[in-house]
Structure 1
Amino acid sequence: MVNSVNIQEFLEKAKKLPVLDVRAPKEYETGHIPAAHSFPIFDDEQRAVVGTAYKQQGHDPAVLIGLDLFGPRMSRFVKEAGKLAKNKELLVHCWRGGMRSGAMAWLLNFAGFKVHLLQGGYKAYRQRVHAEIEKPRSLIILGGLTGSGKTDILPYLQQLGQQSIDLEGLANHKGSAFGSIGLPPQPSTEHFENLLGTALMESNSQQPLWLEDESISIGRVHMPKPFFEQMQAAPTIVLELPHKLRVQKLAQEYCRTNEAILAAAILKIKKRLGGLATKEALAAISDGDMEKMVEIALAYYDKAYTYELAKKQRMLPLSLQSINPEENAGQIVHFAKQHKLL
């Protein structure tokens, strides 16, 4: 017997059991439950064929076409599911909890698996994600000019008993023209929301949550507007570090990067830098003078960030004299307690 479960039960079971997402590969790639395995009942082309038949000929002809495609592969589906679920218990979902997941659940149940089917499918999961993202929270934002080491500090805050989410880590981007260097491809905005929603579900909404200050776009990923608005309204601890330390930190990071990649990043902001500054930055890269290249880029980024910072509702400046993230995390927590943020 197939066990039909709601989204909350499904997510609880997903912590221990494999999740089979039977939607087409393109659907999965656009966004999926982070724990799910892509287990498509139809490939992208087959899904299009069945969908067209449904629109043009109706339900029954589409079902027959679907069965013709599904039938020859039933044995393979059972074998592949067995590799993922050694104890023969798993979870299945499609887009709305309709025919695709129903057919797969029936097959695997017939083959002896204990199957839990998600009511409402991936659509129910997306509704759960949006509800989590829109939930009011106590946020503390870690701000500061580029090179202040904000991202590096987050894990040390966790070591001090604080909870944090690395938004740039979820987005696979550091938020500037240089932000994609050395990182995997970015997720879609939809899947970024899924990753954020999952991280929020795993946090305690009754405790403060630390986040690095971000613009509404992190590379090509867009932050959910309700969540971004909460961030804008939250208190922001603005880290103030000596300019020289920031330049040294960034130069050290970029000295390991291919010259062509750095040059391409500079060219992305050519219009904002201006022709002369761009030419000087490219020459600095060619000469291996990373500090000069960083100085030129920071002239733009510092001005842009200062402009955005002025939109904040509550800013608390904190002067730091070190780039050591562990040491700075301790000072930041102490500062937050002094200002009754914790």
Structure 2
Amino acid sequence: MATSMQTSWVDFFKDVDVIIDVRSPHEFAHDHIPGAINLPVLYDDQHAQIGTMYKQESPFSAKRLGAAWVSENISQHLHGHFQDKGKNYRPGVYCWRGGQRSGAMATILSAVGWKTKTLAGGYKMYRQHVVDALYHKPLSQMFIRVDGNTGTGKTSLLQMLAKNGEFVVDLEAIAHHRGSVLGGLGQKSQPSQKWFESQIYVHLQKSDGPIWIEAESLKIGKLRLPPKLWEAMCDAPIVMLESDSTRRVRHLSTIYDVDGLDAGEICEKLEFLRPLRGHEVVTYWQNLARAQNWSALIESLLAQHYDPSYRRSRQANVAAGATFNILDSSGSVDVELVDKLLTETRLKLGSHC
């Protein structure tokens, strides 16, 4: 029989083949250690019923029923996920605070013969590390902030840099939102604030060089940037992108895949701008959307909404960085222009890059 060992945060990830979160699916969906898989020992309804029984009936009755359900669920996992695992399989298991749920799974897995670790403090310990890193301690990583008007290719630049091996944190991809009134178009539902922060945290841990990141407002959709990340971004050197209106319109038409846009959805979202831009302007935009005159709509939104908003929010930083155009005449990102940007940025920042 192999042993089950409770380990600290530092040692938990060493010499394991998989991280298993045994909490309920709802808890897992809200936030978890990135890369973990979910093998619940209690499912959502079971977890809720046990909690109610513990408070309203008795701890003994709750534990007795809970033990039965936990045993049944672990049995199912043994016939499922663990069915083809060899004797050298090394799982790491955690629950809410490193208590009975992870202990039950670890006991059975160890009895089978697998060397099993549990995380002391469980998810709560992990979450504390995330909070310390993003809320309390200054970030040690160096950032390069990509700034510029809407449609100048900031997100496309980050994607190209990532493919070329640069360290990139794409906040809009993590947030499932492009950071504007129309930023949710074509996106999945936004994650929880905690899962958003977990993904930022793990991205930061992977970097050993400068991190390219897009300039954002403090909020991306419903999500807020963690304070220490926001501070680091504000202090970061800036690479400024610029381009003419025609290229920006063409670039945005491609990014938003205008042929697949829903005019009704766009009109609904444009309603939020009525108090800011006035009835006449918003009605004009909605009429362009209904007519599917996407180029005219994008051009007008840039001129009458996005560019004025950008000037107000970024005025203090406009002259702070080198300026580049990376779009060709069709609105596509030009590889040679990106190479030039990267070379000049490295020369300017010197040993930091």
Does structure 2 retain, via aligned residues, the 8 Å contact 1:132–1:201? no
Change beyond 3 A, Cα 1:261–1:84: farther
The C-alpha deviation readout for 1:157-191, integer Å capped at 9, x for no partner, is: 24555321111111111111221222222211100
Change beyond 3 A, Cα 1:74–1:143: closer
Count residues in correspondence. Answer: 338
Equivalent in the alignment of 1:297:
301
Taking every aligned residue pair, what percent have the same amino acid on both sides? 29
Q: Which amino acid aligns with 1:304?
A: S
Change beyond 3 A, Cα 1:91–1:179: same
Equivalent in the alignment of 1:218:
220
Does residue 96 in structure 1 map to residue 97 in structure 2? yes
Equivalent in the alignment of 1:280:
284
Equivalent in the alignment of 1:178:
182
Does residue 128 in structure 1 map to residue 126 in structure 2? no
TM-score normalised by the chain length of structure 1: 0.89
Does structure 2 retain, via aligned residues, the 8 Å contact 1:95–1:121? yes
Does residue 259 in structure 1 map to residue 259 in structure 2? no
Equivalent in the alignment of 1:320:
325
Equivalent in the alignment of 1:196:
200
Change beyond 3 A, Cα 1:77–1:322: closer
Deviates more, 1:47-56 or 1:136-145: 47-56
Deviates more, 1:112-121 or 1:311-320: 311-320
Q: What is the CA distance between 1:79 and its match in structure 2?
A: 1.5
Does structure 1 retain, via aligned residues, the 8 Å contact 2:15–2:90? no
Equivalent in the alignment of 1:310:
315
Q: What is the CA distance between 1:59 and its match in structure 2?
A: 4.8
Deviates more, 1:147-156 or 1:262-271: 262-271
The C-alpha deviation readout for 1:9-28, integer Å capped at 9, x for no partner, is: 333446xx222211112211
Change beyond 3 A, Cα 1:226–1:312: farther
Q: Which runs of 5+ in 2 are unaligned?
A: none
Q: Which amino acid aligns with 2:37?
A: H
Does residue 333 in structure 1 map to residue 334 in structure 2? no
Distance in 2 separating the partners of 1:233 and 1:11: 33
Change beyond 3 A, Cα 1:61–1:167: same
Deviates more, 1:107-116 or 1:217-226: 107-116
TM-score normalised by the chain length of structure 2: 0.87
Distance in 2 separating the partners of 1:159 and 1:78: 39
The root-mean-square deviation of aligned C-alpha atoms, in Å, is: 2.4
Q: Which amino acid aligns with 2:117?
A: H
Deviates more, 1:28-37 or 1:332-341: 332-341
The C-alpha deviation readout for 1:43-69, integer Å capped at 9, x for no partner, is: 223222322344456654442232133
SS in 1 for 2:321: strand
Change beyond 3 A, Cα 1:223–1:191: same
Equivalent in the alignment of 1:4:
6
Distance in 2 separating the partners of 1:237 and 1:108: 52
Does structure 2 retain, via aligned residues, the 8 Å contact 1:235–1:313? no
SS in 2 for 1:339: helix
Change beyond 3 A, Cα 1:110–1:161: closer
Does structure 2 retain, via aligned residues, the 8 Å contact 1:92–1:101? yes
Q: Which runs of 5+ in 1 are unaligned?
A: none
Q: Which amino acid aligns with 2:344?
A: F
Does residue 50 in structure 1 map to residue 50 in structure 2? yes
Distance in 2 separating the partners of 1:95 and 1:73: 17
Q: What is the CA distance between 1:311 and its match in structure 2?
A: 4.8
Equivalent in the alignment of 1:79:
79
The C-alpha deviation readout for 1:96-134, integer Å capped at 9, x for no partner, is: 101111011112222333322112111222223234434
Q: What is the CA distance between 1:136 and its match in structure 2?
A: 2.5
Change beyond 3 A, Cα 1:56–1:143: same
Q: Which amino acid aligns with 1:179?
A: G
Equivalent in the alignment of 2:150:
146
Equivalent of 2:243, from 238, 241, 258? Answer: 241
Distance in 2 separating the partners of 1:102 and 1:214: 42
Does structure 2 retain, via aligned residues, the 8 Å contact 1:141–1:234? yes
Q: What is the CA distance between 1:140 and its match in structure 2?
A: 0.8
